[in-house]
Every structure is written in C-alpha cells, then in structure tokens.
C-alpha cells in the first residue's frame, strides 16, 4: 500500500509542477522574456503606461512625456525611476516590436507583453479600461484605453495617477516630491 501511495504523491507533485510552469508561461513577460508581475514593480519607482505601438498619437505622446518628465529630474534621481510600457495589443506588440519602439526614448524602458487574458487582468487590477475594436476590411483596428501614467513606489503600490492632460513639468515636480519623501537606504 505504501508503494502506490508514494507513486500517487509523485504524480501529484509532477502535475502540480506542470501547472505552475504553465501558469508562468501564460503570464506577462518583459522584453528579455523574464516573468513580469506586481513584484516586478518593487525596489524603486516605476512609471507605468498601458498602450500599444500602433497608436497614432496618444500613446507615443504619453511615452515621450514620461521620458521628458524623467529628464527634468536631477541627474542622480533619474536612475531611481524605471519607465514601463505595457501593451494592450499583444497580437501586434511582440517583445521585439516593443523593445525597438521604446529604444529611442532611452531611460532603460521595460516593455511588457503576454497573453491577452493576462494583460487584461493586469490592466483591470490597475483600473485601466480597454476597448478593442473589430478589424476593418484591411485588418486594421484600434484599441481605446485609459490614458494615464501610473506611479508605483518602492513597495510596489500605486501612489499616483497622472492624467494625459497633465503637463510633463508637473509630472516631474510631483515625481521629484515622491523621490524626496522616500526613505533613504
């Protein structure tokens, strides 16, 4: 009786391991292929934007203004802020596409993609609304979404939301205030 029980426990362990591996494989990843989740937003300040690379105006403007705000910080403070771009259009936004898209912006951008369901869960947890339109005859489509830059503190909690209408100089001022208020290590 002990031998079948041991075999059963080994099989249960293998199935559990496979389930964990599959759930990781079905999750979000950054441009290096590393898993990305809420824990990825700890240890420093993160400016996070949800958008897509085929956006004609709002997304590129938002990403540019994120980097402009970082540029206004004192040089020693800039490295404490990591910009993050999460796609809402994983069908077109592969890790390689996103990495090329943000490369000219500098500042060590982290790009995030993955299965649609994982992206939608992450967006929903961060109160980002998403509406994906039906493709037209040429296969083109758009993605409407909340356009805010989210600021996460070193503990991984969201501490502020910057609306699209906020000037990047005001974002930089508020970001500097958060950096100054953070405990020194």
SS3 43: coil
pLDDT at 182 (0 to 100)? 85
Count of helices and strands (H, E) across the chain: 6, 9
Query: For the chain, which residues make up each domain, given as ranges?
Result: 28-181
Segments of the chain with pLDDT less than 70:
1-26, 185
Contact status, residue 111 vs residue 31, Cβ threshold 8 Å: yes
What are the backbone dihedrals phi and psi of residue 29, each rounded to the nearest 5 degrees, phi first? -135, 150
The matching CATH number, chosen from 3.40.30.10, 3.40.50.300, 1.20.1250.30, 3.40.50.150, for 28-181 is 3.40.30.10
Candidates 122, 94, 115; CA nearest to 27 is: 115
pLDDT at 6 (0 to 100)? 52
The string of pLDDT tens digits covering residues 97-145 is: 999 999 999 999 999 999 999 999 999 999 999 999 999 999 999 999 9
């Amino acid at each position: 009786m002990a031998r079948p029980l041991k075999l059963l426990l080994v099989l249960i362990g293998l199935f559990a391991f496979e389930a964990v591996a599959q759930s990781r494989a079905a999750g979000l990843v950054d441009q290096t292929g590393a898993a990305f989740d809420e824990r990825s937003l700890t240890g420093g300040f993160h400016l996070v934007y949800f958008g897509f690379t085929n956006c004609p105006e709002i997304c590129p403007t938002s990403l540019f203004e994120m980097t402009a705000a970082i540029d206004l910080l004192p040089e020693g403070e800039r490295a404490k802020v990591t910009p993050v771009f999460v796609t809402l259009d994983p069908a077109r936004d592969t890790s390689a596409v996103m990495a090329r898209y943000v490369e000219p912006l500098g500042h060590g951008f982290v790009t995030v993609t993955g299965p649609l369901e994982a992206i939608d869960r992450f967006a929903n947890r961060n109160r980002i609304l998403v509406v994906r339109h039906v493709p037209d005859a040429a296969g083109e489509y758009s993605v409407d979404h909340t356009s805010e830059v989210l600021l996460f503190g070193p503990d991984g909690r969201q501490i502020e939301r910057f609306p699209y209408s906020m000037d990047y100089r005001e974002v930089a001022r508020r970001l500097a205030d958060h950096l100054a208020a953070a405990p020194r290590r």
